[in-house]
Chains A and B, each alone.
Chain A
Amino acid sequence: MTADHRTVLICRGTGCESSRSPAIQAALDAELQDSDVEIKFTGCHGMCQQGPIVIVEPEGTFYANVKTKDAPKIVESLLHDGEPVERLYYKDPATKEQLPTYHDIPFYAKQKRLVLHNCGRINPEEISDYVEAGGYQGLKKALFELSPEEIVDIVKQSGLRGRGGGGFSTGMKWQFCQQAKGDVKYVLCNADEGDPGAFMDRSVLEGDPHAVLEGMAIAGSAIGAKQGYIYCRAEYPLAIKRLQVAIRQAREQGYLGKGILGSDFEFDIEIFQGAGAFVCGEETALMISIEGNRGMPRVRPPYPAHSGLYGKPTLLNNVKTYANVSQIVNKGADWFAGIGTEKSKGTAVFALTGKIANSGLIEVPMGVTPREIIYDIGGGVLNGKKFKAVQTGGPSGGCLPESFMDVPVDYDSLIAAGSMMGSGGMVVLDEDTCMVDVARYFLDFTEKESCGKCVPCRLGTKQMLTILEDIVEGRGKPGDIELLEELGGGIKGGSLCGLGQTAPNPVLSTLRYFRDEYEAHIFHNKCPAKTCKHFITYHILDSCVGCQLCRKNCSAEAISGEPKGIHWIDQTKCHKCGVCFEVCPPKVFSVEKRTGDLEIHTGEGESL
């Protein structure tokens, strides 16, 4: 084999950049500049945990966890022997098998990458790469072959629903904006992505920014807008930089600006950097924020389609919604409608995290089951632990138990189950996760992110949070569960915007599926997952060999014992940090975590 026509793809998404992929690129560049090997940097491949990732095409050789010092080896393989560097292969955490190409890796094999099809394939800072990959064909078609009504029709027929979480029909929304009266209209892109742990939109913007620009331009031509804004959080510097480069190149090449592609269509895009408040992702708050005011949602109607930014008809869609549109217009409504379920078409992009073997960014057809996602793509629960629940929809979503594992994932099935699609977080929880604590975690987030405007959300989330804190810290009272349900219902029904209307979901869904865990905390002084410090105690078993590791590591000086003798823990001194549990050698395994064992609680729960 020769080195000819090989392309080396180096991931430079935020994850891989932070683990120094630019240095790897520099090293490869230096060595390979006079060769025929082409070096390209790309956006995210999705398997961020394995980064920095380097791929060699056309074989699809997949190198994981590459370091700068590995560069000479890769160069040697490319220029000389052609033998791939086996030790950099990805190792399947389940089978421990080394897999040479990404085609072999189950993580990729089961995915269907539409929105992410260019991510990791093209250089996001070269418009020519995007065009070569078929980019801007949709816009061309929209401008020269389709009337605005026909564009809206295609989007409607495709069945595309908003990827920002709500799942409203994109075609309908476009139609409202098209029919709204007004000579000034706006096209906005929601790139606020405020869910904790979410990075789907960021990856699209970093890996394929032109797809979003193209989608927005098509939207502009359909509804009759000349100006677009991308509302992107300022914490996404790389996404903003790539967008800036993309917008500049699109203007230079006539895809943005006056007389686009020789037509009489005029459309330009500006980036608005948001301060990163979660609530600014809500549509009215987003617009109020662009206008320069504090981002607080307002009552609808009027809907943005009639009175949005600066009181003008405004279309707002999510990053991924636009990224889908460019392909739908190019390839047709039927192509898209052929993917997914009856009511949820296309794919879903998830940030798969938590207690999962392969975390990362994935894209699957709507309708696959959580089991397929977690076991086939994600490689199962981390460290062979038992699966407990999967959390979707971020702070607005809920936790679904084992019994949901085979239900097809789409907008409607998730809502029926008490969760929601959200913008695509998927967190796997194992047997060691306390569901009350998970609910508390999410509510802590929403309570702090509430804009403070309306009573049920501002005070209700705080009230629920305080009750949850009481429960996990042993102060739960009889009646608290009912109160949580009552408040949850009141907040859902009474809040002004989607933040409050969905904030109780993590609590209500865990109450629905894991009520016994709440009861265990309140009535039995137990945390079944053994996570809530108040309810656990550490004990040293008689099998202790007296190695003294625990005693030396205990910062509370709660452990006593002679070398080679059995140790013990003074429960009144123990901070429950769990260090003893961690350091006790696995072979000995003499420290035990128990719950409900010692009646040393002082909480009100004890009065029972």
Chain B
Amino acid sequence: MSQEPKEIRLTIDGQEVTAREGTSVLDAAMANDIYIPHQCHHPDLKPVGACRLCGVEIDGRMVTSCTTVVQEGLDVKTNSQKIHQARKTAMELLIADHHMDCLACAAANDCALLKDSAYLGIEPEQLQRLRPSNKGLPIDTSNPFFQFDPNKCIICGICVRTCDEIVGRGTLAFIDRGFDTVIGTFGNKSFIESTCESCGECVVRCPVGALAPKRPKFAAREVQTTCVYCGVGCGIYLGVSGDKVVDVRGDRERPTNEGSLCVKGRYGFNFINHSDRLTKPLIKQNGEFVEAEWEEALELVASKFAETKGDEFAALASAKCTNEENYLIQKFTRAVMATNTVDHCARL
């Protein structure tokens, strides 16, 4: 039997808050509407304390709040002068290193760097003292769905940890050292040549526009639904603009996938509005397919089934059906059609 997690009481900026045992100081603060800037923290991933922006003061010492777990009676200061100065330095360094191409950037309306630099009040004059990096590294556009621009990468490692911890693929890694450190695939190949399966999990977590979808999304509204591709039934939100689906995102509340998706669910929605898509049943007449109504088509199928028995018949089920539907297909094949010749596309 698992024990109820203990509630811990602590003080953040003079405010008494409670948090569950094991919670980080960062999460505890954010849950109580005390904002702490951060770039490398992501709620789905283990904390690493790399960006140093979430530093807070405890007993006069600066610690990273993402890696510090709440303790009874902790007295945390999130915004002392010392902390503010350290954050400003880190933020100015990040911006001086970043390709500030905000107008053309896919992440512009949801960029952690812009958000935190506004929060910290970074001033352009201050930035002018620094030497900008101007790396001019090539952009990897090899993947059909997303691109990687190392000039915008802040090396937070979120993508690396996502691919390791969530996807289990381990495609991404830190490459080289020092200022030359970049994110790359094994052997620093392009994405398309790597072991990447294009799930896009890293792309959705990238806090800036370094890993970004190639087709920017302009959804007017969202529709909650279930992915049609397979029996897992991942929860998704379709981004809709007019009568078209323009975007898909995973539903973080759905227990089946907790926001994760595979390449098909995330990027494979073109078929919806594709001109080749069949929207009505077709019946072959005199060697040619002719559009028909559902009633007519189903009756034709039923009559053909009635003429067939035993091993003359075979059923091939689809991964796009639910498990329950697939169960019914095999039951129907064995009990009604009297054959064991039943298979499924997922094992072909």
Contacts and interface: CB of A to CB of B under 8 A. Distances in A.
Contacts of A462: 133, 178-179
Contacts of B177: 277, 279, 448-452
Contact of A490 (B90, B129, B174): B90
A491 B94 CA distance: 13
A33 to B, nearest CB: 51
B48 A453 contact: yes
A299 B64 contact: yes
Interface in B41-96: 47-53, 55, 62, 64, 67, 82, 85-86, 89-90, 93-94, 96
A315 interface: no
Nearest to A466: B131
A116 to B, nearest CB: 33
A453 B50 contact: yes
Given A448-B178, A455-B94, A460 B50 contact: no
B157 interface: yes
A455 B50 contact: yes
A474 B155 CA distance: 32
A519 to B, nearest CB: 18
A462 B130 CA distance: 11
Interface residues of A, number: 35
B89 A460 contact: yes
A458 interface: yes
Contacts, number: 106
A486 B39 CA distance: 22
Contacts of A448: 177-180
A455 B130 contact: no
A447 interface: yes
B49 A479 contact: no
Interface string B135-164: 000000000000000000011010000000
Contacts of B178: 447-450, 452, 458, 461-462
A245 to B, nearest CB: 33
Given A463-B96, A463-B131, A490 B89 contact: yes
B157 to A, nearest CB: 7
Interface of A: 277, 279, 294, 296, 298-299, 447-456, 458-463, 466-467, 470, 479, 483, 486-487, 490-491, 493-496
30 contacts: A299-B47, A299-B48, A299-B64, A447-B179, A448-B178, A448-B180, A449-B178, A450-B178, A452-B176, A453-B155, A454-B52, A455-B90, A455-B94, A456-B52, A456-B86, A458-B155, A459-B96, A460-B89, A460-B93, A461-B178, A462-B178, A463-B93, A466-B131, A479-B129, A487-B89, A490-B85, A490-B90, A491-B89, A494-B89, A496-B50
Given A277-B177, A452-B177, A470-B131, 8 more contacts: A455-B94, A458-B178, A461-B178, A462-B133, A463-B96, A487-B89, A487-B93, A496-B50
Interface of B: 39, 47-53, 55, 62, 64, 67, 82, 85-86, 89-90, 93-94, 96-97, 129-131, 133, 154-155, 157, 173-174, 176-181
Which are the 3 A-B pairs with shortest beta-carbon distances? A452-B181, A490-B89, A462-B179
